[in-house]
Structure 1
Amino acid sequence: MNLKDLEPQSSPKAAFGHRIRQLRDERGWTQEDLAVRIGCSGTHISAVETGRRSPTARFAASADRAFGTGDRLERQSRATRHSALLEGFPEYVSHERHAAEIRVYEVGVVPGILQTERYATALTMRAVERGAITKEQGEERLMLVDERQRMLVREPPPLVFVVLDESSLRRPVGSAATMDDQLARLLDFGSLPNSILQVAPFSMGDRRPLSLPLYILTLQNRSLMSYAESAQRGQLERDSASVVPLLTAYHQLQADALSQPESLAMISQLRKDYRDT
């Protein structure tokens, strides 16, 4: 990754790398100069600055001594080692904000770019309660949800295609009021001129070509990138040729899913059901 493309807010690693580069530039040091002071290689410094390598506690402490920053870098480095984000996702987000087209398939939950604040908070706090993530990691997740939603409001806006497994709509999150607001948000999204929202109903059965969440980006230069994840692992694919089969499967999913009018009708009915509970 080029330094000019590094987005400090995309991940704790990127923020740490940006801070190291900033402190180094302020002193007029090269990467080799800093490497000598810390006791590592210039290549290692480069990898940390570009977010390709997480800083160890030892590296951060050595950097604090070199820059005279007390223990600020060591404390900042802790976030890079305890992130709630799966590998590859922060880099995906850094490209998502510049993509011309975004395609999303989600299972079980409403995707982050469409979550209301109450829905995102309820989902995150439940994960904190059961010990799956820390409170700090939960705050990181909520900040990222907000950041991703804000980057969608740009000119020109990206084309956004979303296919939701029916389970995403039927899984209660928070209160009935939380679900009512969330379903209203989906209906609003479905009315935008740059969006397509579809539901993959349970009745599709084994015709569903995808079983795990998938995100596909078409970048400004028309190259493709995908991100897929399971419960404990994220996989970022940058090779367009490898993404094409996933894009084909996504198109097959869209062809078999409910049309947008049918999908919005289902969401409206579910919203009524939540209101009646």
Structure 2
Amino acid sequence: MTNIKELNPDESPQAAFGAKVRSARETRQWRQEDLSERMDVSSTHVSAIETGRRPPTLRFARKADRALECGDKFERLWRDLKHGSLLEGFPEFVMHEGRAAEIRLYEVGVVPGLLQTPEYAAALAEGFVKRGAITEEQAGERVALVAERQTAFDRRLPPLVFAVLDESCLRRPVGSPSVMEEQFARLLEFAELPNTVLQVAPFTMGASRPFNLPVTLLTLPDRSLMAYSEAAQRGYLERESTAVLPILTAYHQLQAAAPSPAESLTLISQLRKGIL
């Protein structure tokens, strides 16, 4: 009876994860030792995960997916568990973002996560804490997620990243003046990377700006396209080419209408120096 109670999937997200591992294992009529051998972890570790006594890691989730031939089922579950305070749909987007060959993003109001300094990310998260939207622990998870997403730049073949920032991203103060100064410096460093293109869409673009809300386009290794956008309560991934291609066309129009990367860097440098 004790084991049944410990494996109650309604007890917690961690217990639900463990129950699903056990169910997948038993469906194949494997013992814990059989699964541990295929995953190259100890049977004690498998037992602790299945009973919810130990939280799963991303590495464990990926090993479980390979051993149990579940696609990315357990990685998705891990991301839902780890990032429960995030918008529905965002953890799935982050998973695809981490594998993308090309990333095209347009942001309004705040510097996007891939370009944020830790201090800027922390200041944003603290704002949510003060408003009672998330806990201190969840704020820490959000800052850690920013760092996790940025490891994409450390890959052997990092993604090609096109970033267009609305001028509001630069004008809105987040944190102290020193936080903003470091963030401006980070943007200038980002623009110098060999796999990045950074532009600023100034307020003067007016109605010629094709987007009013943030949007991200991903080109996956198989060259398939995906678009991500957010509403107030959840994020949306669009995979249908009939819907994604018009967004890609509009993005190219945005890049063509925005000032050149050189002009954009001049604007960022002037803001950093307090000239504008």
For 1:16 and 1:80, the matched residues in 2 are separated by: 10
Instruction: Within 5 Å, give how 1:103-142 maps onto structure 2.
Output: 103-142=104-143
Deviates more, 1:148-157 or 1:115-124: 148-157
Q: Which amino acid aligns with 1:196?
A: V
Contact 2:109 2:166 in 1 (8 A): yes
Instruction: Within 5 Å, give how 1:239-254 maps onto structure 2.
Output: 239-254=240-255
Contact 1:212 1:230 in 2 (8 A): no
Instruction: Within 5 Å, give how 1:12-91 maps onto structure 2.
Output: 19-24=18-23, 28-30=25-27, 68-69=51-52, 80=81, 83-91=84-92
Deviation at 1:83, TM superposition (A): 2.2
The normalised TM-score by structure 1 is: 0.73
Q: Which residue of 2 aligns with 1:46?
A: none
Q: Which amino acid aligns with 2:27?
A: T
Deviation at 1:23, TM superposition (A): 4.2
Q: Which residue of 1 aligns with 2:41?
A: none
CA offsets per residue over residues 3-45 of structure 1, 9 Å max, x none?
xxxxxxxxx97x87764454456xx511799xxxxxxxxxxxx
- Mapped pair 1:150 → 2:128: no
Q: Which residue of 1 aligns with 2:229?
A: 228
SS of the aligned residue for 2:144 comes to helix
SS of the aligned residue for 1:209 comes to coil
Q: Which residue of 2 aligns with 1:205?
A: 206
CA 1:128–1:250 in 2, change beyond 3 Å: closer, same or farther? Answer: same
Contact 2:126 2:139 in 1 (8 A): yes
For 2:213 and 2:89, the matched residues in 1 are separated by: 16
Unaligned runs of 5+ in 2: 1-11, 31-46, 57-76
Runs (4 or more) in structure 1 with deviation over 3 Å come to: 15-25, 67-73, 79-82
Deviation at 1:177, TM superposition (A): 0.5
Contact 2:102 2:218 in 1 (8 A): yes
Deviation at 1:241, TM superposition (A): 2.9
Deviation at 1:210, TM superposition (A): 0.4
For 2:264 and 2:179, the matched residues in 1 are separated by: 20
Q: Which residue of 2 aligns with 1:188?
A: 189
Deviation at 1:152, TM superposition (A): 2.2
CA 1:183–1:151 in 2, change beyond 3 Å: closer, same or farther? Answer: same
Contact 2:205 2:258 in 1 (8 A): yes
Contact 1:97 1:148 in 2 (8 A): yes
Deviation at 1:242, TM superposition (A): 1.7
Q: Which residue of 2 aligns with 1:94?
A: 95
Q: Which residue of 1 aligns with 2:216?
A: 215
CA 1:164–1:24 in 2, change beyond 3 Å: closer, same or farther? Answer: same
For 1:161 and 1:70, the matched residues in 2 are separated by: 43
Q: Which amino acid aligns with 1:117?
A: P
The normalised TM-score by structure 2 is: 0.74
Unaligned runs of 5+ in 1: 1-11, 34-63
Deviation at 1:142, TM superposition (A): 1.1
CA 1:139–1:242 in 2, change beyond 3 Å: closer, same or farther? Answer: same
For 1:130 and 1:120, the matched residues in 2 are separated by: 16
For 2:115 and 2:15, the matched residues in 1 are separated by: 28
For 2:220 and 2:83, the matched residues in 1 are separated by: 30
CA 1:32–1:128 in 2, change beyond 3 Å: closer, same or farther? Answer: farther
Contact 2:18 2:52 in 1 (8 A): no
CA offsets per residue over residues 51-72 of structure 1, 9 Å max, x none?
xxxxxxxxxxxxx9xx555798
SS of the aligned residue for 1:264 comes to helix
SS of the aligned residue for 1:231 comes to coil
Contact 1:213 1:228 in 2 (8 A): yes
CA offsets per residue over residues 77-134 of structure 1, 9 Å max, x none?
9x84982211211111111111110011100000001100110001100110111222
CA 1:18–1:98 in 2, change beyond 3 Å: closer, same or farther? Answer: farther
